[in-house]
């Protein structure tokens, strides 16, 4: 028995979309549809401002090498992009929220033709991150993570649809750390991820996020690599009038005046919220010294009695975390 079929006319010549009729439906099966003759896709799907993006015409029912592609952008014919087998075009994205409308007419070797169109919306997202480790208030750089310390990564979306900026709380997020879904943090409004740094100094963690609007018109992806650092110590000299000279730190302090010299040891990137949570141990030639009782990170040294011209000053800083070993550094003081 012959199966009935439906012929749909597209363009100048008939394209056959065959639908299996009643026998399949009676058996409870879904109708089988031949795929459309042309489908447009952009890569990236939603480019950033000024970014190059490629639009590709897939022709599952036509041989791409013997198919003629006739392109138009914003309603303007683009003969420079058109031709036999020219299934891709590359364009440059405009400003955030703008749309690029692309249309293509495909004509097969037998004269069969069809056309399809797509609209590509420009958007952007920014990933920002910080680690919950200690740095001095005057420090202007990034706080770095150390073994086991918390890291916070946030998405700043720049997505405008139909002239309306979509707030972060109304977007869909899917996070992953090292290709594994991050603590099942997937859903609407989940624009901030918090996780712990790797336990090994120098280890790198890949954090990725996919952002989409509810209607899935926009799909943006971003990733960042975060390396686990080690805590650091810096030594700064203090003067009665100038205070801490935070612009200069060194392992070697030359030509210090004999007499009273003041120093402050500054910890960086320890898993603490205050330097008072840390313990400090000062030494000169393995002899322990005490900082001021209220501020153990400050040290006053009277060098008038030292006969040597070069004096090694050692500072060791520790915290209560078992994953962070004590950090020790030796600074050399040279006296006049």
Asked if pLDDT for residue 25 goes beyond 50, the answer is no
Region 205-213 average pLDDT? 94
Average per-residue pLDDT for the chain: 83
Strand order through the sheet with 150-158 = 124-131, 150-158, 192-196
Residue-wise pLDDT tens digits, 105-125: 999 988 888 899 999 999 999
Structural domain spans, the chain: 35-121, 124-227, 232-335
Q: What is the pLDDT of residue 242?
A: 53
pLDDT at 254: 57
Q: What is the pLDDT of residue 243?
A: 59
pLDDT category at 182 given cuts 50, 70, 90 is low
Distance between CA atoms of residues 329 and 282, nearest Å = 10
Residue 197's nearest CA partner among 153, 129, 133, 150 is: 150
Q: Assign a CATH topology to domain 35-121.
A: Immunoglobulin-like (2.60.40)
Per-residue pLDDT at 90:
97
Query: DSSP for 65-102?
Result: GG-EEEEEETTEE-TTT-EET--EEEEE--STT-EEEE
Query: Which of 104, 98, 133, 134 lies closest to 118 in space, CA to CA?
Result: 104
Mean pLDDT across 87-95: 96
Topology match between the domains 35-121 and 124-227: yes
- Yes or no: say if 89 and 71 are a contact pair by the CB < 8 Å rule: yes
Q: Give the pLDDT score at 68.
A: 94
Query: Which CATH code is given to the segment(s) 232-335?
Result: 2.60.40.10
| pLDDT at res. 1 | 38
Give residue 61's pLDDT: 85
CB-hemisphere CA count at 13 Å for 113?
11
Q: Is the pLDDT of residue 280 over 70?
A: yes
pLDDT for 306:
78
In this prediction, residue 143 carries a pLDDT of: 93
User: 124-227: what fold?
Assistant: Immunoglobulin-like (2.60.40)
Query: Residues 184-205: what's their mean pLDDT?
Result: 89
Which pLDDT value is given to residue 255? 55
Q: Using CA atoms, how far apart are residues 284 and 293, in angstroms rounded to an integer?
A: 18
Residue 166 clears pLDDT 50, i.e. is over it: yes
Q: Of the ranges 8-22, 53-67, 287-301, which one carries the lowest mean pLDDT score?
A: 8-22
Task: Tell me what pLDDT residue 238 has.
Answer: 75
What is the pLDDT, as a whole number, of residue 240? 58
Give me 197's structure tokens.
């740094």
Q: Is the pLDDT of residue 4 over 70?
A: no
pLDDT at 9 over 60: no
| 26 or 71: which leads in pLDDT | 71
Task: Give the per-residue pLDDT at 253.
Answer: 55
**Distance of alpha carbon 311 from alpha carbon 78, whole angstroms:** 77
């Amino acid at each position: 028995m012959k199966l009935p079929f439906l012929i749909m006319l597209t363009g100048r010549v008939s394209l056959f979309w065959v639908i299996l009729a009643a026998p399949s439906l009676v058996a409870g099966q879904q109708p089988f549809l031949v795929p459309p003759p042309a489908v447009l896709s952009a890569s990236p799907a939603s480019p950033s401002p000024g970014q190059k993006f490629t639009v590709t015409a897939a022709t599952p029912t036509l041989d791409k090498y013997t198919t003629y592609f006739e392109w138009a952008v914003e309603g303007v014919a683009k003969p420079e992009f058109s031709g036999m087998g020219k299934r891709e075009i590359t364009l440059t994205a405009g400003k955030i929220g703008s749309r690029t409308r692309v249309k293509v007419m495909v004509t097969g070797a037998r004269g069969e033709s069809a056309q399809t169109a797509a609209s590509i919306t420009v958007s952007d997202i920014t990933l920002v991150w910080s680690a919950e480790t200690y740095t001095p208030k005057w420090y202007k750089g990034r706080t770095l993570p150390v073994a086991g310390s918390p890291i916070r990564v946030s998405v700043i979306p720049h997505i405008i649809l139909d002239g309306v900026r979509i707030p972060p709380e109304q977007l869909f997020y899917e996070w992953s750390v090292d290709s594994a879904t991050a603590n099942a943090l997937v859903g609407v409004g989940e624009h901030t991820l918090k996780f712990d740094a790797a336990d090994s100094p120098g280890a790198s963690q890949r954090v990725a996020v996919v952002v989409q609007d509810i209607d899935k018109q926009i799909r943006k992806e971003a990733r960042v690599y975060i390396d686990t650092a080690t805590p650091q110590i810096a030594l700064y000299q203090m003067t009665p009038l100038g205070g801490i000279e935070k612009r200069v730190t060194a392992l070697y302090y030359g030509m210090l005046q004999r007499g009273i010299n003041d120093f402050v040891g500054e910890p960086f990137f320890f898993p603490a919220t205050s330097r008072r949570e840390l313990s400090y141990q000062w030494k000169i030639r393995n002899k322990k010294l005490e900082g001021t009782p209220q501020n153990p990170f400050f040290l006053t040294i009277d060098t008038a009695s030292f006969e040597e011209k070069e004096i090694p000053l050692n500072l060791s800083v520790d915290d209560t975390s078992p994953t962070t070993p004590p950090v020790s550094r030796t600074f050399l003081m040279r006296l006049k």
